[in-house]
Amino acid sequence: MPYPLKRLLAFPLVMFGVSVFVFIAIRLVPGDAITAMLGTESGLLTPAQREALTAYFGLDQNIFVQFWRWLAGVVQGDFGISTTYGQPVLRVIFDHFPLTLELAVLSMLLSLVIGLPAGIYAATHKDRPGDLAVRVIAMLGQSTPGFVVGLLLIFSLSVFFGVLPRMGSFVPFRQDPVGNLAQMILPALTLGTAFAAAVIRVSRSAMLDILSEDYVRTARSKGLSRRRVIWRHALPNALIPLVTLSGVEFGYLLGGAVLVEQIFALPGLGRVVLDAIQQRDYALVQGTILFIAFNFMVVNLLVDLAYAALDPRIRFETK
């Protein structure tokens, strides 16, 4: 069976596995949703009120019925109702996802804009001081966790420039694009550091591999300029591994925003998940994690397919 087809067929199976896993996992968390939702006020509930609430959220059914109802709903786009927000889960997700998506896209763009030229520069100046500097910076970037970068950025801004990034209130892009970007640039840099380092390393080594290929030497010996050979002959081929890297990393950026959103107090999906777990908001945890896992898998699938299209060697390999 060709590899892409195999991946497509496995997709629903794995998604089902993910939903079972999430469903069971959140029910293993100690504590019940009604108490978590109402806090101390839950002590004021009469047994009848408590029962009514439990029935309203469908928590009185046995676990198989609950799972079946939930899954049947999910397939129809109904993820249930969040106990903390008192809104449909999908609504909560779509309210908070744009921010996380913007964060991921911005940090990806920043990483590529910084990483790709740096990687090409290092490859074309191999073993010279510039190359060494780029490699040291990449290694440090790879070794410093994103949230530490974030803390150090906030620290340097406040100490050297006396400003603090705007926190607490979030400006949506549609209302104020400039204010929004100004607010998002630090979080995006924070989230993108590790990825930028990876871009530098991958583009450098891909470029080095290709620059030693025969066809590049042929192009040079035909009298083409060095610049033209690098940009027209070598670069397009060096981009192939970068496509894979970007795809895989994009999935991580979407899910990995939890810490960055926490540091910069941004109301994104990562914060929603973190709060939902603490509040035992079953439906919300299930919905958001399934949503994130779904995105992650779709992106990975697309990357695999794109990779197979770009590199015929992969197409027929059945792993």
Based on the number of CB atoms within 10 Å of its own CB, is 243 exposed (0-12), middle (13-18) or buried (19 or more)? middle
In angstroms, what is the minimal distance from the CB of 10 to another protein?
7
Between 100 and 229, CB nearer to another protein: 100
In angstroms, what is the minimal distance from the CB of 292 to another protein?
6
Structure-token match 């924070």, residue found: 190
Q: 88 pairs with which residues across the strands?
A: 81
Distance in angstroms (rounded) separating the CA atoms of residues 213 and 215: 6
Residue 3 binds another protein (CB under 8 A)? no
The one-character DSSP state at 169 is: S
In angstroms, what is the minimal distance from the CB of 178 to another protein?
27
Positions in 240-259 near another protein (CB under 8 A): 251-252, 254-256, 258-259
Residue 10 binds another protein (CB under 8 A)? yes
The amino acid that residue 15 corresponds to is M
Residue 63 binds another protein (CB under 8 A)? no
Say how many residues make up the chain: 319
**Binding residue (CB under 8 A) for another protein from 33, 120, 122, 154:** 154
CA distances from 97 to 93, 188, 246 (A): 6, 15, 20
Between 18 and 101, CB nearer to another protein: 18
3-state secondary structure of 130: helix
Between 55 and 140, CB nearer to another protein: 140
The amino acid that residue 41 corresponds to is E
Which string of x and - marks every residue 258-297 that binds another protein (by CB under 8 A)? xx--x----------xx--xx------x---x--xx--xx
Contacts of 24 (CB under 8 A, 6+ apart): none
Between 32 and 224, CB nearer to another protein: 32
Residue 29 binds another protein (CB under 8 A)? yes
Q: 99 pairs with which residues across the strands?
A: none
Instruction: State the CB neighbour count (10 A cutoff) for residue 239.
Output: 15
Summarize as ranges the residues that interact with another protein (CB under 8 A): 10, 13-15, 17-18, 21-22, 25-26, 28-30, 139-140, 142-145, 147-148, 151-152, 154-155, 158-159, 251-252, 254-256, 258-259, 262, 273-274, 277-278, 285, 289, 292-293, 296-297, 319
